[in-house]
Amino acid sequence: MTYEESLRWLYALQPRGIRLELDRMRAALALRGDPHRALRVVHVAGTNGKGSVCAMLERVLRASGLRTGLYTSPHLHSFRERIRVDGEPVSRDEVVRRASEIRTTVEAPDAPQLTFFEVTTLIALEAFREARCDVVVLEVGLGGRLDATNVIDVPLATAITSIALDHQQYLGSTITEIAREKAGIAKPRVPLVLGRVDDEARRAIEAHATNVGAPIVPAARVDDAHPTPLAGAFQRDNVAVVLALVDVLRARGISIDPVAVHDGLRATRWPGRLETLDGSPAVIVDAAHNPHGCRALAAHLASLPRTGPRVLVFGAMADKPWREMLDILRPQVDKFVAVAPDMPRAERADAIASHARAESAPTIPAGVDRARARAGTGGLVIVAGSIFVLAEARAHVLGVENEPAIPM
């Protein structure tokens, strides 16, 4: 297969959807020689913030001279971004090779019928084993308990960054139910770093951790004077989780130099998370895709001086509470342009425009151009609502290639 053919095969698995269970993944791993058993893993879950924590922790570990693996999802512009070794995305050739090998395995008679995310996770685990990574930072895809990444029996550490209502159709309709699902990554005698969560979530997580014998390590909140590498006041909470994980890893025999912690944090880059793209007007792209994320974005916008019109480019999946999300952002913007990514789950742009009493655009690039014209040279354009929207907008502004999106 070529790289494009490999992506086509992977994306063709999308109709299998999200199927939260571990039997298929364990069966596939056994067929592939159980690559996960050779890895030392930090496993990170959470409604929001888990990607930022993973990015910061990986950069700290790399600054300490460790060979790192990093697995995150979804990607912005290229599938290869999901799987990184020492900070570099895996090559096209490696994706082709591993996809071809795994395809032979999973298309054999009686083989487990894996989903897109399960195959991608399998590719990542095999890549990290072959690269002989010292530590792998593994981001949960969805939930925790039945996520494909939760095949790691004895991680070095686990962490939960935050709990909020999201993906209720899979994880439950209450904070308690969602917290229990995310707490499913806890393992006996493995420290669980717990970020800033409300009392309801904390009680659910503590009960599950006690039941499985996982000691909880609270992340002490970093004060305002502590430098954070990424934009947004909420990143202080994410840094606190990283620092707590560093302490846990040191206690478990991983050598992490104090200078490397400082240098690694300073060097962290995590595109699409309150990222400002320079220009006239400037464009802020943010992966706010649920009310919790939109509140964080609104707080950041409230902290910025108003120098001109603010125009929001917004598009969301139909199964998200996008009306609530828009209402949260409304006080911080002056105008709206509604857009929709080209995928079945997306809410129609005209439906969003009708609710917001706004205009719509036929494509995301057209929506960005329209918003820039409305904002003028002294204004600000904000892109949010879905990572698929910001990915296409970011590619348009920066002039970079954007591979076809996969709605997972």
Rounded Cα distance, 400 and 277, in Å? 13
C-beta of residue 149 within 8 angstroms of C-beta of residue 43 = yes
Strands 380-384 and 310-314: parallel
The CATH 3.40.1190.10 portion of the chain extends over 3-267
Q: Among 68-72, 178-182, 243-247, 248-252, which stretch is predicted with the lowest mean pLDDT?
A: 178-182
Average pLDDT on 337-347 reads: 91
3-state secondary structure of 346: strand
Is residue 193 over pLDDT 90? Answer: yes
In this prediction, residue 168 carries a pLDDT of 67
C-beta of residue 356 within 8 angstroms of C-beta of residue 336 = yes
pLDDT averaged over every residue in the chain: 92
Is residue 229 over pLDDT 90? Answer: no
3-state secondary structure of 388: helix
H-state helical runs in 330-403: 349-356, 364-375, 387-398
Q: Which residues, at least 6 apart from 235, have a Cβ–Cβ distance to it below 8 Å?
A: 52, 228, 229
The backbone torsions φ and ψ at residue 44, rounded to the nearest 5 degrees and listed phi first, read: -125, 125
- Alpha-carbon dihedral angle through residues 220, 221, 224, 229, given to the nearest 10 degrees: 100
Rounded Cα distance, 181 and 183, in Å? 5
Is residue 280 over pLDDT 80? Answer: yes
Tokens found for residue 129: 């084993």
In this prediction, residue 408 carries a pLDDT of 44
Is residue 407 over pLDDT 60? Answer: no
- Give the tens place of pLDDT for each residue, 292-330: 899 999 999 999 999 899 999 999 999 899 999 999 999
CATH assignment, 275-398: 3.90.190.20
pLDDT confidence of 223, banded at 50, 70, 90?
A: low
What pTM value is reported for the model?
0.90
- Give the tens place of pLDDT for each residue, 107-134: 888 888 899 999 999 999 999 999 999 9
C-beta of residue 365 within 8 angstroms of C-beta of residue 394 = no
DSSP 102-139: HHHHHTSTT-----HHHHHHHHHHHHHHHTT-SEEEEE
Is residue 236 over pLDDT 90? Answer: no
Rounded Cα distance, 27 and 140, in Å? 19
- Give the tens place of pLDDT for each residue, 16-37: 667 777 999 999 999 999 999 9
In this prediction, residue 230 carries a pLDDT of 79
Rounded Cα distance, 300 and 187, in Å? 35
3-state secondary structure of 362: coil
Average pLDDT on 271-280 reads: 90
Can you give the C-alpha Rg of the chain in angstroms? Answer: 21
Q: Which residues, at least 6 apart from 181, have a Cβ–Cβ distance to it below 8 Å?
A: 143, 144, 145, 146, 171, 172
In this prediction, residue 328 carries a pLDDT of 96
Rounded Cα distance, 381 and 10, in Å? 34
The CA-atom distances, in angstroms, between 229 and each of 85, 185, 232, 268 are 21, 27, 9, 6
The CATH 3.90.190.20 portion of the chain extends over 275-398
H-state helical runs in 252-332: 258-267, 291-303, 322-329
HEC string of 66-105? CCEEEECCCCCCCHHHHEEECCEECCHHHHHHHHHHHHHH
Select the more confidently predicted residue: 38 or 167.
38
Angle in degrees, 0-180, between the axes of helices 387-398 and 364-375, rounded to the nearest 10: 70
Tokens found for residue 69: 């693996």
CATH assignment, 3-267: 3.40.1190.10
Kindly provide the b/e burial profile for residues 145-182, where b requires at least 16 CB atoms within 10 angstroms of the residue's own CB: bbbbbbbbeebbbbbbbbbbbbbeeebbeebbebbbbb
Rounded Cα distance, 384 and 237, in Å? 21
Is residue 406 over pLDDT 70? Answer: no
Rounded Cα distance, 329 and 367, in Å? 18
